[in-house]
């Protein structure tokens, strides 16, 4: 993690304690297995997180393009030079937040590949139920991230890389299942099918979170996506027993 500049007093949300301005380290600490010694959080780590938290908080008040570095530094309680020690621009902050949200989703899924004995219906539920749950938690970040792909080249490249990794694994799974005679996809071009499905799902989630849909509306959207997804894969809608 980056070595830090002097940190201001801040709350560590994960540990629920403050940061000492004289040391720039958190008084909160995890208990070590070797006798309960406290682990100090590096001040650079604290300030970086303060910037990320400030940006995400500001998204509740205004669209990402309207957020300035001044807004971020004031919300984080840090000086402007400290911001540029960690990020080259506000768009870089958004890019990192999108990456972290994607990591949370990937961790919740566990694997993009279909598990042994997992039906295609359950496969969809695991992949995109977890995905939608991540959008519920990180909705403003994900909406801002999708919007930023239209004007920020670096974020667009990062987003494209993340989606390409997902699509590659899903297309490989479709190919294996088709060869095994388990499904009959609508086309032999599995890559194009998966890319189109993913784009459709991303835009459906984007609309869902932009409009802040109700739970019932989101459930209806997921049900429709599942029907289209299973139909495209040529898979049964029967869940695993």
| 240 lies in some domain | no
Q: How far apart are CA 28 and CA 33, in angstroms?
A: 16
For the chain, how many structural domains are there in total? 2
pLDDT tens-digit map of 151-189: 989 889 988 998 999 999 999 999 999 999 999 999 999
Q: Do residues 126 and 55 share a domain?
A: no
Q: Closest by alpha carbon to 72, among 99, 43, 52?
A: 52
| 2 lies in some domain | no
Buried b (16+ CB within 10 A) or exposed e, 62-81: eebeebebebbbebbebeee
| 17 lies in some domain | yes
Give pLDDT, residue 11.
31
pLDDT tens-digit map of 55-87: 999 999 999 999 999 999 999 999 999 999 999
**Residue 54 domain boundaries:** 11-87
Q: Do residues 61 and 119 share a domain?
A: no
| 238 lies in some domain | no
The pLDDT mean for the chain works out to 84
| 239 lies in some domain | no
Mark which of 56, 87, 118 sits at the end of a domain.
Answer: 87
Q: Do residues 52 and 155 share a domain?
A: no
**pLDDT band per the 50, 70, 90 thresholds, residue 126:** very high
Give pLDDT, residue 240.
67
User: For residue 12, what are the β-bridge partners?
Assistant: 17
| 70 lies in some domain | yes
Mark which of 87, 116, 137 sits at the end of a domain.
Answer: 87
Predicted TM-score (pTM) of this structure: 0.76
Q: Do residues 172 and 99 share a domain?
A: yes
Query: Residues 149, 98: contact at Cβ < 8 Å?
Result: no
């Amino acid at each position: 993690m980056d070595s830090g500049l002097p940190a201001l007093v801040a709350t560590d949300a994960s540990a629920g304690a403050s940061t000492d301005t004289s040391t720039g380290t958190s008084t909160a600490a995890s208990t070590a297995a070797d006798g309960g010694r406290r682990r100090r959080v590096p001040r650079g780590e604290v300030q970086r997180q303060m910037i990320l938290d400030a940006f995400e908080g500001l998204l509740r008040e205004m669209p990402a393009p309207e957020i300035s570095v001044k807004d971020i530094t004031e919300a984080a309680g840090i000086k402007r030079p400290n911001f540029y020690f960690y990020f080259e621009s506000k768009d870089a902050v958004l890019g990192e937040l999108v990456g972290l949200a994607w990591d949370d989703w990937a961790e919740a899924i566990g694997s993009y590949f279909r598990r042994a004995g997992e039906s295609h219906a359950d496969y969809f539920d695991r992949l995109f139920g977890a995905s939608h749950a991540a959008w519920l938690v990180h909705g403003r970040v994900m909406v801002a991230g999708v919007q930023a792909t239209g004007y920020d080249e670096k974020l667009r490249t990062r987003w494209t890389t993340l989606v390409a990794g997902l699509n590659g694994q899903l297309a490989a799974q479709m190919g294996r299942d088709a060869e095994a005679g388990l499904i009959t996809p609508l086309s032999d071009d599995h890559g194009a099918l998966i890319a189109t499905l993913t784009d459709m799902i991303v835009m459906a989630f984007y609309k869902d979170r932009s409009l802040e849909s109700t739970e019932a509306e989101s459930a209806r959207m997921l049900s429709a996506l599942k029907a289209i997804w299973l139909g495209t894969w040529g898979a049964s809608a029967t869940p695993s027993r």
